[in-house]
Amino acid sequence: MIVMTGLTYRIGGRMLLDHASATVPTGRRVGLVGRNGAGKTTLLKIISGELELESGKIETPRGWRIRHLAQEAPSGNASLLDTVLAADEERVRLLHKAEHAPPERMAEVHEQLAAIAAAGAPARAASILAGLGFSVQAQAGPIGALSGGERMRIALAGALFAEPEVLLLDEPTNHLDLEAALWLEGALAAYGKTLVIVSHDRELLNRAVDAILHLDDGRLIFYNGNFDTFEETRRLKRSLAAKEQEKQQAQRKHMQAFVDRFRAKATKAKQAQSRLKAIAKLPTLASSIEPVPVVFRIPEPDELASPLIALDDVAIGYGGKAVLKRLSLRIDMDDRIALLGANGNGKSTLAKLLSGRLQPMAGELRRHPKLRVGYFAQNQAESLDPERNAVEHLAALLPKATETKLRGLLGGFGLTEERGTTRVRDLSGGENARLLLALLCREEPHILILDEPTNHLDIDSRAALIQALGDFGGAVVLVSHDPHLVRLVADRLWLVDAGQCRPFEGDLDDYHAHLLRERRLVRRQSTTPPAPRRSEESKPGARHRVDVTPLRKAASEAETRLAKLTQARTQIEAALAHPATYTGPAEKVAELSRLKARLDEQIKSAEEAWLLAESQLEASANPVDG
């Protein structure tokens, strides 16, 4: 377990941790939550040993490995798969030892390798990379050729693959698309060791964690259950605290009335003095005041006749090469559309076309002549001048606006008078995102095109954005990895895939099921490759066969792990089916149910690893000529 006692830490005189104490039990998956700037990232760095405490201590069992998701993306010429495999330092050490060990020690080293399932490591690493959106071909390519966001996904893959006793993740979905975020949700829910994750993704905190650690006003409080349970528990605690405060105030008022009435009377002076002392000794109760809610206000546009935008057989791309073709789409004033599809399929390209930042290569695109568009891009924060403040940025775009109007627009996105005059470089990521939202709303747009608008927003700000978009009278086109945002905002889904964009019939759960079916289909197809034609068999590439021994070991190891997990689940199911189980403590039944749920997730993961290992084995036996 992780035992934190009396943690004190401050930055620039601001107290982030004020004698905070908490315990994270072994094997728990914990969501670390708190408002922006509360110190969540700082706490992860303290737990990992990257920062030194002012006072207090953190204790973990001897020998535990603690891994904090790298803040710097990995680089170099190694392949994606080799980079992830290198993340397991114990496996690397043992493999090196096996190459140089004397014959009499060889058996011992191989036993150690078997104990950590080293033979199945390539298949497991490949499965993780596939889940995070990297194809088999991409996994063989050099990591140095990837973008910064893609390399951060490799860092995440390495952290998951290493399976340390304590895994610390800070906003792991920020560089993922929706598809990879849904996969990660399941992978974290099945993580069998201790996990502490900072995230503002409400669904991730509801589905992947079983406890919440709340950092508030320098203190830490541990709650059992997911985020919804945490919120309900806090609401009840505040309600009880408010009632206790009311009771104490009534008692204080009654005692003060006695003092005021009889203080001047000699016969009652002693009793009045006693009441004064009693009032002074009344305990100071913690404030039960509800935090000020975050509210966003998006200006209402004037009504326009539909369609706002219409596309007829449009093609778009870059440098004469089309990314998307045959686009025949329509957006009306009341549309709420989410774009689905893996990274690289063209969602952002389509968003640029709709916003007017990219022109069609072919076909016809028609816009309403009075249409005003608000566009939020993933990297738009880079366009902000770090030396200017929010008011100055807005004034440059609205030179005729009064300062009152400028501050009112900024205030509509939670930027107070003080923050409005703070330089951009001194604002938090969430405050910069609020500024960008204010900027895009300056001309009361009829359509909002939002490409990952929540990356730096905390949970309260995300809830405020959802509410504001729900009240907005114009159209919304949304690209987001946040399932909660997509579920509550979008009523139409468009799938961007295979060079096209088409409506997807169903909701987000249907889309998740669609993804799972697609992955199973790909695996089945990859395990039954077509037989090579006779003319191809004579080619040098077809005659070449790699050594498949490691792949066979990987497949065998994955199959063995699957069999063991299945056997364990059968034993748990037998215990749950036995009447005697329910005559004992209720905690035992609950623990068995939790074990079964965890085994179900692990079996699902093991099945994926086994299928992938088998597909790689089959592919190696039938290589494609280059």
User: Tens of pLDDT along 395-445?
Assistant: 888 888 888 888 888 888 888 888 888 888 888 778 888 899 989 888 899
pLDDT given at position 496: 94
pLDDT given at position 32: 95
Percentage of the residues of the chain whose pLDDT score is greater than 90: 30
536-564 mean pLDDT:
55
Q: What pairs with residue 500 in β-bridges? A: 497
Q: CATH 3.40.640.10: does it fit domain 309-514?
A: no
Distance separating the N- and C-terminal Cα atoms of the chain:
51
Per the model's pLDDT, the better-predicted residue between 339 and 509 turns out to be 339
Q: Which residue blocks in 210-291 are alpha helix, DSSP H?
A: 227-262, 269-281
Q: Where are the domains of the chain?
A: 1-65+167-225, 71-163, 231-281, 309-514, 546-626
pLDDT given at position 523: 55
Q: Which of 163, 154, 165 is nearest to 66 (CA)?
A: 165
Between 328-332, 378-382, 432-436, 480-484, the lowest mean confidence (pLDDT) is in 378-382
CA angle 565, 184, 224 (to 5 degrees): 75
Largest CA distance in the chain: 119
Separation in Å, CA 494 to CA 339, 351, 365, 511, 604: 5, 12, 18, 11, 28
Nearby residues of 613 by Cβ (< 8 Å), 6 or more positions away: 120, 122, 123, 551, 554, 555, 557, 558
Separation in Å, CA 180 to CA 87, 104, 346, 452: 20, 46, 16, 14
pLDDT tens for residues 57-107? 999 998 898 988 865 677 788 889 989 998 888 888 888 887 877 776 777
Q: Which of 430, 449, 453, 438 is nearest to 395 (CA)?
A: 438
pLDDT given at position 500: 94
Most confidently predicted of 310-314, 469-473, 601-605, 621-625: 310-314
pLDDT given at position 547: 46
Is the model's pLDDT at 530 over the cut of 60? no
φ, ψ for residue 9, nearest 5 deg: -155, 135
Q: Which residue blocks in 263-282 are alpha helix, DSSP H?
A: 269-281
Using DSSP's 3-state secondary structure scheme, residue 593 falls into helix
Is the model's pLDDT at 392 over the cut of 70? yes
DSSP structure string for 313-345: EEEEEETTEEEEEEE--EE-TT-EEEEE--TTS
439-442: long-range pairs with CB below 8 Å, 24+:
439/393, 439/394, 439/397, 440/374, 440/375, 440/376, 441/298, 441/299, 441/374, 441/409, 441/412, 441/413, 442/394, 442/397, 442/398, 442/409
Separation in Å, CA 46 to CA 169, 187, 256, 288, 437: 13, 25, 48, 30, 33
Query: Residue 528: which pLDDT band, with cuts at 50, 70 and 90?
Result: very low
pTM (predicted TM-score):
0.69
Which tokens is 150 given? Answer: 């893609």
pLDDT given at position 331: 95
- Beta strand segments in 53-104, E: 55-59, 66-68
Which tokens is 368 given? Answer: 């309403």
For CA atoms 19, 23, 24, 30, the dihedral sign is negative
Per the model's pLDDT, the better-predicted residue between 270 and 462 turns out to be 462
CA angle 70, 74, 80 (to 5 degrees): 120
Nearby residues of 75 by Cβ (< 8 Å), 6 or more positions away: 143, 144, 151
Task: Say if strands 330-331 and 447-451 run parallel, antiparallel, or are unpaired.
Answer: unpaired
Same fold, 1-65+167-225 and 309-514: yes
Q: What pairs with residue 476 in β-bridges? A: 336, 448
Cα–Cα distance between 124 and 105 in angstroms, integer? 27
Instruction: For domain 1-65+167-225, give the CATH number.
Output: 3.40.50.300
CA angle 378, 382, 386 (to 5 degrees): 140
Q: SS3 for 139-201, per residue?
A: HCCEHHHCCHHHHHHHHHHHHHHHCCCEEEEECCCCCCCHHHHHHHHHHHHCCCCEEEEECCC
pLDDT tens for residues 332-371? 999 999 999 988 889 999 999 999 999 999 999 999 999 9
Which tokens is 320 given? Answer: 């004469």
**Residues, the chain, total?**
626
